[in-house]
Structure 1
Amino acid sequence: MQGRALELGTLVGVQLFGVLDQLFIVYANDHADQETDRRNRTPTLFSGGSRVLVEGRLSPRALGTAAIVCAVALLSLSVGLAVARGAPLLVPLAVAALALLWAYSHPPLRLSYRGGGELLQMVGVAGVLPLYGYVAQGGELGRFPWALVMFLLPTHLGCAIATALPDEPSDRESGKLTLPARVGGERAAWAIVALNGLTWVLAPFGLGSVGLSAGLGLLVPVVATLAVPLIRPAPPGSRLIQLRVAAAITATLSTIALPLVGLALA
């Protein structure tokens, strides 16, 4: 696969987009989920919200204002990049990033409470963000490596499910239909294994689409994935649940590293 040199100014702009998007997600989701977070007695580093509203460290109004500021900054940055790089598609992609969070947390859709939250996370992280970076760097939409994205979608979905594992009791109490709340933590753990397994099946096609192969690097996500169901019992609120989530996150991050490192060294 032939590529082109990264434009460093654009790279900084894209990274800033990612930071603003992440902050918007955290602020807006905390604002929308504050009642559920108040019921959450098993928060972890990976889940349960930031707790700033629950603990009274910030007011809902302040957090809502911060979310709006991040959204406006994200859109302004995208307009600037679109003009500078001659890439108008960046603006609708930025709108899509904001819309995904709105559909996740806010009425009328509020899909995190209707069973579609993990899918929205997958689409945003594994779809919108890489496409945004690709287009910003001058990539042609018709040459975007869709097979690579398809390869990464299942493991991202598994990671989204994993971060909901510690919140199972409060999510069920609040009627939030995450997979762990619907089927229980142990079954959800096996779903994570199955999704990562699908990623391994797709690896030759996804990595091959950009001229790479998995090789021994695939051993890291395989071992991390197998640890997910083996770390038990892991009820919400325990130390083992945090290790289980960390294992699932490691599986996804190490899988993402395969094409990143491979393309960097190519």
Structure 2
Amino acid sequence: MTSLRAWLQASRLPSQSYIALPLLLGQFVAVRLTGRPLDIGTLLGVQLFGLLDQLFIVYANDWADQETDRLNRTATLFSGGSRVLVEGRLSSRALGIAALVCAVGLVAVSVGLAVTRGVPLLVPLALAALALLWAYSYAPLRLSYRGGGELLQMVGVSGVLPLYGYLAQGGDFGRFPWWLVACLLPTHLACAIATALPDEPSDRESRKLTLPARVGGEHAAWVILALNALTLVLAPLGLESVGLHADLWLLLPALAALGVVLTRPAPPGSRRILVRVASAITATTAMVSLPLVALALR
């Protein structure tokens, strides 16, 4: 039971929403634009890919960031890694092997989907998902330490994942709604910045160049608000590209984004930092979930 609890802690399953929702959105966009029924077997396969991708990300990141995580005294549910290596609950070898198994598994699932659905592009997209994490955390690029980590997260979650789900459900690449991606890019960038807010002290100490470490948490909060505002400006175009219309529900992500700057001061280690990060995450997940629900109900 102790080992099981350690693996559950390492798996950080609440972060699955970052992966599962964009994959679901892409699939329901395909159903909307093609007029075909949702293929349940494909849906399960795509979400299995997402589960393996999320596990690969958290295991591989824990392995790569273990030294920085040891310096972190302000970790939260949203940041600072799972802490299993820091606490000695799992070995780095076990976590590294688990990351490798998940990487092989998500490629295998993608090969299976590519063959059964006749969509060979799914395999390069799966490899792209692996490459983004490698560029984020590992040498020679290690962009999370050089100031490009948030951008890589944005590209993966807003671009690769919706396109993967869309193609798997039979969507035509030429008809993919790029305006929807353009709409979601800023809010996902904002979310990536927000989850780095609690780690500002240890990131600065280890020279990890996240935006909060470079400009400070209070300035980063205003950047998060501005990015979410840009998403709201682009929302009518993004929603129109999939046959939806902007409505009053956009007030939910707007109010959540406002909560980021209204919750102040919010230094790392405080309770307010939890509210600030949760507000940013709510703004982003709402911008993905609400159109997803609207498409699923049609």
Q: What one-letter code is carried by the residue in structure 2 that aligns with 1:204?
A: P
Q: List aligned pairs for 1:104-143, cutoff 5 A.
A: 104-143=136-175
CA RMSD in angstroms comes to 0.8
User: Which of residues 32, 35, 49 in structure 1 aligns to 2:81?
Assistant: 49
Aligned to 2:93: 61
Separation of aligned partners in 1, 2:246 and 2:71 = 43
Q: Which has the higher contact order (CA 8 A, sep 6+)?
A: 2
Secondary structure in structure 2 of the residue aligned to 1:16? helix
Aligned to 2:181: 149
Identity of aligned residues (%): 78
Residue 83 of structure 1 pairs with residue 127 of structure 2: no
Residue 174 of structure 1 pairs with residue 206 of structure 2: yes
Q: 1:223-252, CA deviations, whole angstroms, 9 ceiling, x for partnerless residues?
A: 111110110111000110001000000011
Q: How far 1:135 sits from its partner (Å)?
A: 0.8
Separation of aligned partners in 1, 2:36 and 2:187 = 28
TM-score by length of 1: 0.99
1:103 and 1:111 in contact (8 A); partners too: yes
User: Which of residues 188, 192, 202 in structure 2 aligns to 1:160?
Assistant: 192
Separation of aligned partners in 2, 1:41 and 1:235 = 12
Q: 1:142-193, CA deviations, whole angstroms, 9 ceiling, x for partnerless residues?
A: 0111111110000000000000000000000000000000000000000000
Aligned to 2:285: 253
Separation of aligned partners in 2, 1:202 and 1:254 = 15
User: Which of residues 243, 249, 268 in structure 2 aligns to 1:217?
Assistant: 249
Separation of aligned partners in 1, 2:93 and 2:289 = 38
Residue 233 of structure 1 pairs with residue 256 of structure 2: no
Q: 1:85-143, CA deviations, whole angstroms, 9 ceiling, x for partnerless residues?
A: 11100000000000000000000000000000000001111111111111111111001
Aligned to 1:8: 40
Separation of aligned partners in 1, 2:127 and 2:242 = 28
Aligned to 1:243: 275
Q: What one-letter code is carried by the residue in structure 2 that aligns with 1:15?
A: Q
Q: What one-letter code is carried by the residue in structure 2 that aligns with 1:55?
A: E
Counting matched residue pairs gives: 266
Separation of aligned partners in 1, 2:289 and 2:106 = 26
Separation of aligned partners in 2, 1:5 and 1:183 = 48
Q: How far 1:258 sits from its partner (Å)?
A: 2.6
Separation of aligned partners in 2, 1:219 and 1:229 = 16
Q: What one-letter code is carried by the residue in structure 2 that aligns with 1:51?
A: R
Secondary structure in structure 1 of the residue aligned to 2:135? helix
Structure 1, unaligned stretches of length 5 or more?
none
Separation of aligned partners in 1, 2:243 and 2:122 = 27
Separation of aligned partners in 2, 1:177 and 1:214 = 36
Secondary structure in structure 1 of the residue aligned to 2:264? coil
Aligned to 2:72: 40
User: Once superposed, which parts of structure 1, at least 4 consecutive aligned residues long, lie more than 6 Å away?
Assistant: none
Separation of aligned partners in 2, 1:183 and 1:76 = 41
Separation of aligned partners in 1, 2:295 and 2:168 = 18
Separation of aligned partners in 2, 1:136 and 1:143 = 14
1:214 and 1:258 in contact (8 A); partners too: no
